[in-house]
């Protein structure tokens, strides 16, 4: 029975997402906006309940990434402003949710995971625990890489990279300031730059998310809050990416012939 259900689920994904050689981004980035708004709309007094439901959606999305063979994903979990301005109780609950999620990723043995952002903004015990769990996922058998942006700010990332470059020069290793020298010092190093960014929650802005890396990214703005993000929305984002892929790389004639 379970094998039949698995087969039916795979057939559904094939029909919905497709696995027929159509292009997919090598790096998908997601801005997970709308958890608190979703909780309020659902009548929960504790808005952080939205983070718990949002975690379930994260697990769904990374499974879809596995299925369509997207090798790298970055999730914007919380900005530096979020950590500073929201209540300590909400942030502590968010840390627990992230810790549980990292434990789940460790068990599944599919994704290498790293937390990126301003580590100094995290409590030392939390930063140490996240680092311990992430390091445990770094083995050669994992085919996908996941970055969790927590305490992240794009301007801070660029400043940190520039300061690291200056420090290297001060230590007797002078180096020109180039795109390559900056990129080598970004939090994820020379990882593929995101080719597709999905933002939920109806806001039409990037909120300081990866400004250096997303200058050439396709951006899909979803009107739903993150816990309501579905496979239909995911498919719509991939279709938009494929449409832009064919328009930019193969020309309008092939795009029209492909029926996009």
What digits encode the pLDDT tens for the residues 101-150?
Answer: 999 999 999 999 999 999 999 999 999 999 999 999 998 789 999 999 99
CATH architecture of the region 25-163+193-244: 3-Layer(aba) Sandwich (3.40)
- pLDDT tens per residue across span 202-232: 899 999 999 999 999 999 999 999 999 999 9
Quote the CA–CA distance of 94 and 99 in Å, as a whole number: 9
Per-residue model confidence (pLDDT) at position 116: 98
pTM above 0.85, yes or no: yes
Q: Is 114 left (phi over 0), alpha (psi -120 to 50) or beta?
A: beta
pLDDT-wise least confident of 20-24, 92-96, 127-131? 20-24
pLDDT of residue 117: 97
Cβ–Cβ under 8 Å, residues 70 and 25: yes
Q: Residue 9 above 90 pLDDT? A: no
Q: Annotated catalytic residue: which of 35, 82, 153, 225?
A: 82
Is residue 46 among the annotated active site residues? no
pLDDT grade, residue 247 (50/70/90)?
Answer: confident
* pLDDT above 50 for 2: no
- Altogether, the residues listed in the chain come to a count of 260
pLDDT in tens, 36-72: 999 999 999 998 999 999 999 999 999 999 999 999 9
Q: Break the chain into its structural domains and give their ranges.
A: 25-163+193-244
Three-state secondary-structure class, residue 38: helix
C-alpha distances in angstroms, 54 versus 37, 60, 220? 11, 10, 19
Residue 92, CA distances (Å) to 51, 66, 95, 98, 188 in order: 11, 30, 5, 10, 25
Calculate the average pLDDT of the chain.
Answer: 90
Cα–Cα dist 50/57, whole Å = 11
- Looking at 33, 121, 153, 228, which residue is catalytic? 33
4 among known catalytic residues: no
- What confidence score (pLDDT) does residue 200 get? 98
Pairing of strands 72-79, 111-116: unpaired
pLDDT band of 168, cuts 50, 70, 90: confident
């Amino acid at each position: 029975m379970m094998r039949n259900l698995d087969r039916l689920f795979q057939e559904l994904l094939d029909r919905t997402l497709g696995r027929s050689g159509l292009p997919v981004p090598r790096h998908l980035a997601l801005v997970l906006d709308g958890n608190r708004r979703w909780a309020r709309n659902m009548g929960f007094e504790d808005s952080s309940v939205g983070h718990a439901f949002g975690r379930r959606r994260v697990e769904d999305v990374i499974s879809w990434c596995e299925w369509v063979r997207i090798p790298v994903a970055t999730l914007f979990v919380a900005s530096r402003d979020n950590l500073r301005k929201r209540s300590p109780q909400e942030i502590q609950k968010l840390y627990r949710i992230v810790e549980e999620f990292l434990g789940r990723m460790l068990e599944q043995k599919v994704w290498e995971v790293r937390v990126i952002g301003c580590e100094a903004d995290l409590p030392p015990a939390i930063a140490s625990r996240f680092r311990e769990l992430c390091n445990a996922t770094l083995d050669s058998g994992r085919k996908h890489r996941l970055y969790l942006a927590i305490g992240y700010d794009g301007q801070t990332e660029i400043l940190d990279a520039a300061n690291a470059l200056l420090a290297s020069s001060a230590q007797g290793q002078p180096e020109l300031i180039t795109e390559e020298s900056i990129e080598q010092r970004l939090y994820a190093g020379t990882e593929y730059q995101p080719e597709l960014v999905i933002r939920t929650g109806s806001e039409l802005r990037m909120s300081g998310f990866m400004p250096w890396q997303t200058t050439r990214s396709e951006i899909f703005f979803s009107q739903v809050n993150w816990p309501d993000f579905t496979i239909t929305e995911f498919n719509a984002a991939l279709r938009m990416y494929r449409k832009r892929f064919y328009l930019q790389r193969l020309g309008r004639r092939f795009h029209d012939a492909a029926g996009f």
